[in-house]
């Protein structure tokens, strides 16, 4: 699928679930809760320096954390077998991942024992260390399978691996041969490529790939496998520091694309795999504020470009022989208020993922032969996230398979036949036994300070008018043009079952209502995201949903900016806050050009060094630089020692200053007038993964700690497990 969110990703402080398909991962992104079940990674134990001395304020939650850890482990195992499209279909075999490696099963002889293709323990063994000291904890280094690519005739397999904690990337190329006599003996590893970011097969012997150096992907290489060995040659190098490069195949596998994207421009190069000439050529040279993505259909390019009304996305076409913008002809533009989120070409149809004016997901099918006959396919009203299946070598090309989910609805498989509009659910009625619960999805709109209506999605189990005493967890992001992550997470379902209401505020700065929704909250408009969040809370309270004393806010990465700013301005609107890998020192980070993301982030936050007005704007809302002695909500901040996107120093500085402000405020008031001081807890974990560990057990510890924190700070009684019936 043409994941247009890549056009905004670049190396931003964003959720990983869309990082191109970076970690395919995808997203923002810890791939998904299912990968944490340890079914798709291999680990080895080694030591690390403890960061416990930096953590603080956690002991009071430990007992309750143990309880929630058991509850969450049961919940995750309960959903360990739902679909996730992890099986790859070749011409002759099905490929799947187990804990210790990648296996394949013969389609015609399924009774045979699965054959191991790649042994991950051999790779993990390279990181094993001996002589662990007794006073050091063990760290689980895992190699997690990110993506698998089969060559056109299934002669080779390429797989990308990511090492947790270190974020090391590696691509392993395996030569696939006839079945070995010993089924557990792995196939031959041809070679290993380091720091590979994206890769695609052009032929059975030619692999194109891009590399990741630090947080920048700028070079594309070509690997030729020959009878005498291999040869690597440079294909392309991007010189602009803010441009991110990836390689991809069109859905029909006829065109290989080199996508060069910044936050303000796109440039795509094509290699026609159907011909012997693989030299790439440019579709449309980059142009400021022009974003586009390319698919292929019958010798023509189907292009998703922001050349529509208000610089929003529309679909255009051009011949491959004349691909430049002068040849672009409009095929389809959505109605005002409807925004295109993604595009795929399925058979003779263009299928668009769209968000309607009421913020619901829908599919728009555009017949490429008769584009005026476009039609809309409605999805269930609870659908908040969609994940499409990349077709395997032997999969049908004339249908679209996808999963839909919500934070509290597990993924449900669907299949769309665009030629007749037939939409089939893998469960028959579009639900699963887990989805039959009486969950309510309510779409709301809150009026912000400037009159803009901000979408809010509320999940609850009782009517809105009965939510006055319900604890409320509010989610927000609002940056980089990224949609708020609304995929399924078992812990959200657990909370809903325990009577919580869950609100998702789609504030400006995100991409939920198109490119303009993002533009309105860039640089000088950043305050709008804070105002939107405040308006959402006021609207929920006015409807009788919960109250400030039962309300908690949660966010990650750059989503900490509106949360932190609101805590400074109106700290009594919430009782507690949880932040993960929080970006809190906007001013200090944007002043430091030695940091990896500062220069390319200027389009989002501004340039406080070269522009005095930008400096004034950032200073007005930056969470760290606006801390003042007052009664703050309790906070749990989780950060990672090796995180290159959000420097740990900023989190530590914020925590220190916040604690000082809390202490100063308490000492200014007579004891008779003092409220109980808020608890400021800091959880520093090892590793470089921006959004947390991919180790299942460590992830459970983190999520259980968050729940323990929320229950204690909101004064809630922990839920009691159901009593077992006596026999």
The full set of domain ranges for the chain reads 85-122+140-249, 439-665+676-714
**Dist CA 564 CA 571 (whole Å):** 9
User: Do residues 458 and 466 lie in contact, with contact meaning Cβ atoms separated by under 8 Å?
Assistant: no
Name the 3-class secondary structure at 373: helix
Catalytic residue among 84, 475, 690, 695: 690
Distances (CA, A) of 560 to 475, 582, 636, 712: 10, 5, 12, 22
As beta bridge partners, residue 272 has: 255
- Name which of 548, 536, 477 is nearest 512 in CA terms: 477
What the block records as the tokens of 293 is: 């993505």
**Dist CA 238 CA 230 (whole Å):** 24
Distances (CA, A) of 541 to 500, 545, 580: 15, 5, 25
Ramachandran bin of 327, using left for φ above 0, alpha for ψ from -120 to 50, beta for the remaining angles: alpha
CA gyration radius, the chain: 25
Kindly report, residue by residue over 384-415, the tens digit of the pLDDT. Answer: 999 999 898 888 779 999 999 999 999 999 99
**Dist CA 40 CA 727 (whole Å):** 39
pLDDT for 137 beyond 90: no
pLDDT of residue 21: 31
Name the 3-class secondary structure at 406: strand
As beta bridge partners, residue 405 has: 385
User: Do residues 473 and 495 lie in contact, with contact meaning Cβ atoms separated by under 8 Å?
Assistant: yes
User: Do residues 446 and 453 lie in contact, with contact meaning Cβ atoms separated by under 8 Å?
Assistant: yes
**Dist CA 102 CA 98 (whole Å):** 6
Kindly report, residue by residue over 319-328, the tens digit of the pLDDT. Answer: 999 999 999 9
Name the 3-class secondary structure at 674: coil
On average, the pLDDT of the chain sits at 87
Given CA atoms 688, 692, 698, 701 in this order, what sign does their dihedral have? positive
pLDDT of residue 32: 38
Percent of the chain whose predicted confidence (pLDDT) is above 70: 86
- CA angle, 150 then 152 then 155, to 5°: 65
**Dist CA 678 CA 631 (whole Å):** 7
Kindly report, residue by residue over 207-239, the tens digit of the pLDDT. Answer: 999 999 988 999 999 999 988 889 999 999 999
Helices 612-621, 526-542: axis angle to 10 degrees equals 20
pLDDT for 458 beyond 50: yes
**Dist CA 123 CA 414 (whole Å):** 36
Beta-carbon contacts of residue 353 (< 8 Å; ≥ 6 apart)? 340, 341, 342, 343, 361, 363, 386, 388
- Cβ neighbours around 264 below 10 Å, total: 15
Tell me the residue length of the chain. Answer: 727
- How would you class 670 by CB atoms within 10 Å of its CB: exposed for 0-12, middle for 13-18, buried for 19 or more? exposed
pLDDT for 44 beyond 70: no
Name the 3-class secondary structure at 40: coil
pLDDT of residue 288: 96
pLDDT of residue 180: 59
The CATH homologous superfamily to which domain 85-122+140-249 belongs is Prolyl oligopeptidase, N-terminal domain (2.130.10.120)
pLDDT of residue 407: 97
pLDDT of residue 144: 85
- Cβ neighbours around 396 below 10 Å, total: 13
- Name which of 442, 563, 460, 549 is nearest 502 in CA terms: 460
pLDDT for 17 beyond 50: no
Distances (CA, A) of 390 to 340, 435, 482: 19, 25, 22
HSE of 47 in the Cβ direction (CA atoms, 13 Å)? 9
pLDDT for 363 beyond 80: yes
Based on the residue annotation, tell me whether 690 is a catalytic residue of this protein.
yes
pLDDT for 360 beyond 80: yes
**Dist CA 15 CA 32 (whole Å):** 12
Given CA atoms 434, 389, 37, 408 in this order, what sign does their dihedral have? negative
Q: What is the mean pLDDT of residues 353-365?
A: 97
**Dist CA 225 CA 421 (whole Å):** 43
Beta-carbon contacts of residue 663 (< 8 Å; ≥ 6 apart)? 677
Architecture in CATH of 439-665+676-714: 3-Layer(aba) Sandwich (3.40)
Lowest mean pLDDT among 182-196, 281-295, 572-586: 182-196
Lowest mean pLDDT among 122-126, 385-389, 479-483, 554-558: 122-126
Ramachandran bin of 562, using left for φ above 0, alpha for ψ from -120 to 50, beta for the remaining angles: alpha
Lowest mean pLDDT among 70-74, 275-279, 333-337, 488-492: 275-279
User: Do residues 117 and 101 lie in contact, with contact meaning Cβ atoms separated by under 8 Å?
Assistant: yes
Backbone φ, ψ for residue 607 (5° rounding): -120, 95
**Dist CA 474 CA 29 (whole Å):** 20
- Name which of 657, 659, 654, 678 is nearest 584 in CA terms: 654
Strands (E), 519-563: 551-556
**Dist CA 538 CA 52 (whole Å):** 38
**Dist CA 48 CA 132 (whole Å):** 9
pTM above 0.85, yes or no: yes
For 312-371, give the secondary structure using H, E and C.
CCEEEEEECCCCCHHHCEEEECCCCCCEEEEEEEECCEEEEEEECCCCCEEEEEEECCCH
Catalytic residue among 557, 585, 601, 614: 557
As beta bridge partners, residue 97 has: 102
More confident residue, 189 or 651: 651
> 692: which DSSP letter?
-
Name the 3-class secondary structure at 550: helix
Residue with tokens 């036949």: 417
Strands (E), 448-575: 453-460, 472-476, 501-505, 551-556
pLDDT for 129 beyond 60: no
Q: What is the mean pLDDT of residues 358-369?
A: 97
pLDDT of residue 182: 54
- Name which of 597, 581, 588 is nearest 685 in CA terms: 581
> 56: which DSSP letter?
B
Beta-carbon contacts of residue 643 (< 8 Å; ≥ 6 apart)? 581, 688, 689, 690
Q: What is the mean pLDDT of residues 25-38?
A: 35
- Cβ neighbours around 152 below 10 Å, total: 14
Beta-carbon contacts of residue 475 (< 8 Å; ≥ 6 apart)? 484, 502, 503, 504, 505, 554, 555
- How would you class 498 by CB atoms within 10 Å of its CB: exposed for 0-12, middle for 13-18, buried for 19 or more? middle
pLDDT of residue 428: 59
pLDDT of residue 22: 29
The DSSP-derived string for 104-152 is: EEESS-TTSPPEEEEEHHHHHGGG------TTS-EEEEEEEEEEEEE-T
> 660: which DSSP letter?
H
H helix or E strand, kind and range, residue 417:
strand 409-417
**Dist CA 597 CA 607 (whole Å):** 12
pLDDT class of 429 with cuts at 50, 70, 90? low
- Name which of 366, 280, 265, 373 is nearest 316 in CA terms: 366
Based on the residue annotation, tell me whether 84 is a catalytic residue of this protein.
no
Catalytic residue among 84, 272, 483, 643: 643
Interior/surface letters 579-597, b for 16+ CB within 10 angstroms, e for the rest: bbbbbbbbbbbbeeeebeb
What the block records as the tokens of 654 is: 């914020």
pLDDT of residue 2: 55
H helix or E strand, kind and range, residue 270:
strand 266-272
């Amino acid at each position: 699928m043409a994941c247009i969110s890549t056009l905004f990703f670049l190396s931003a402080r964003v959720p990983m679930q869309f990082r191109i398909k970076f970690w395919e991962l995808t997203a923002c992104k810890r791939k998904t809760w299912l990968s944490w079940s340890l079914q798709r990674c291999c680990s080895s134990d080694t030591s690390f320096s403890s960061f416990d001395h930096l953590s603080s304020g956690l002991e009071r939650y430990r007992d309750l954390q143990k309880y929630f850890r058991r509850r969450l482990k049961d919940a995750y195992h309960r959903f360990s077998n739902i679909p996730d499209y992890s099986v790859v279909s070749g011409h002759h075999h099905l490929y799947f991942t187990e804990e210790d490696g990648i296996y394949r099963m013969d389609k015609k002889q399924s009774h045979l024992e699965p054959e191991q293709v790649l042994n991950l323990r051999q790779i993990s063994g390279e990181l094993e260390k001996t002589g662990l000291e007794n006073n050091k904890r063990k760290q689980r280094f895992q190699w997690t399978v990110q993506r698998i690519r089969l060559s056109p005739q299934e002669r080779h397999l390429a797989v990308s691996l990511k090492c947790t904690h270190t974020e090391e990337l590696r691509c392993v190329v395996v030569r696939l041969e006839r079945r070995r006599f010993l089924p557990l003996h792995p196939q031959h590893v041809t070679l290993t490529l380091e720091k590979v970011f994206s890769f695609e097969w052009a032929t059975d012997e030619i692999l194109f790939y891009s590399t990741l150096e630090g947080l920048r992907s700028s070079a594309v290489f070509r690997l030729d496998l020959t009878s005498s060995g291999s040869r690597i040659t440079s294909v392309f190098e991007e010189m602009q520091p803010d441009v991110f490069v990836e390689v991809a195949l069109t859905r029909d596998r006829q065109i290989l694309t080199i996508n060069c994207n910044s936050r303000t421009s796109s440039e795509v190069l094509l290699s026609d795999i159907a011909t012997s000439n693989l030299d790439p050529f440019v579709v449309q040279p980059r142009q400021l504020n022009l974003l586009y993505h390319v698919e292929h259909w019958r010798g023509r390019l189907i292009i998703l470009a922001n050349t529509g009304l208000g610089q929003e996305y529309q679909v255009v076409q051009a011949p491959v022989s004349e691909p430049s913008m002068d040849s672009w002809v409009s095929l389809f533009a959505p109605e005002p208020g409807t925004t295109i989120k993604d595009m795929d070409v399925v058979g003779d149809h263009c299928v668009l993922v769209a968000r309607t004016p009421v913020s619901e997901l829908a599919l728009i099918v555009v017949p490429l032969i008769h584009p005026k006959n476009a039609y809309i396919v409605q999805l269930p009203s609870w659908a908040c996230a969609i994940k499409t299946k990349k077709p395997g070598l032997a999969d049908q090309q004339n249908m679209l398979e996808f999963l839909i989910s919500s934070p509290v609805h597990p993924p449900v498989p669907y299949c769309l036949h665009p030629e007749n509009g037939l939409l089939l659910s893998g469960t028959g009625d579009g639900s699963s036994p887990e989805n039959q619960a009486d969950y309510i999805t309510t779409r709301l709109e809150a009026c912000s300070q400037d009159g803009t209506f901000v979408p809010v999605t509320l999940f609850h189990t009782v009517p809105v008018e009965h939510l006055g005493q319900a604890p409320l967890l509010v989610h927000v992001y609002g940056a980089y043009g990224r949609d708020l992550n609304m995929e399924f997470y078992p812990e959200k379902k657990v909370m809903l079952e325990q009577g919580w209401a869950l609100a998702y505020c789609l504030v400006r700065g995100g991409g939920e209502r198109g490119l303009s929704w993002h533009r309105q909250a860039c640089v000088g408009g950043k305050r709008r995201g804070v105002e939107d969040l405040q308006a959402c809370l006021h609207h929920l309270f006015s409807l009788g949903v919960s109250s400030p004393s039962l309300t908690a806010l949660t966010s990650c990465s750059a989503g900490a900016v509106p949360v932190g700013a609101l805590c400074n301005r109106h700290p009594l609107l919430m009782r507690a806050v949880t932040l993960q890998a929080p970006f809190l020192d906007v001013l200090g980070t944007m002043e430091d050009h030695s940091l990896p993301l500062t220069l390319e982030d200027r389009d989002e936050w501004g340039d406080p060094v070269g522009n005095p007005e930008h400096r004034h704007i950032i200073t007005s809302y930056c969470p760290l630089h606006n801390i003042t002695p007052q009664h703050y909500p309790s906070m749990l901040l989780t950060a990672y020692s090796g995180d290159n996107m959000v420097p740990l120093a900023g989190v530590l500085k914020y925590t220190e200053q916040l604690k000082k402000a809390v202490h100063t405020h308490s000492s200014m008031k007579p004891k008779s007038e003092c409220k109980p001081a808020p608890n400021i807890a800091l959880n520093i974990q090892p590793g470089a993964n921006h959004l947390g560990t991919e180790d299942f057990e460590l992830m459970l510890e983190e999520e259980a700690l968050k729940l323990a924190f929320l229950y204690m700070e909101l004064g809630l009684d922990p839920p009691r497990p159901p009593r077992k019936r006596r026999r």
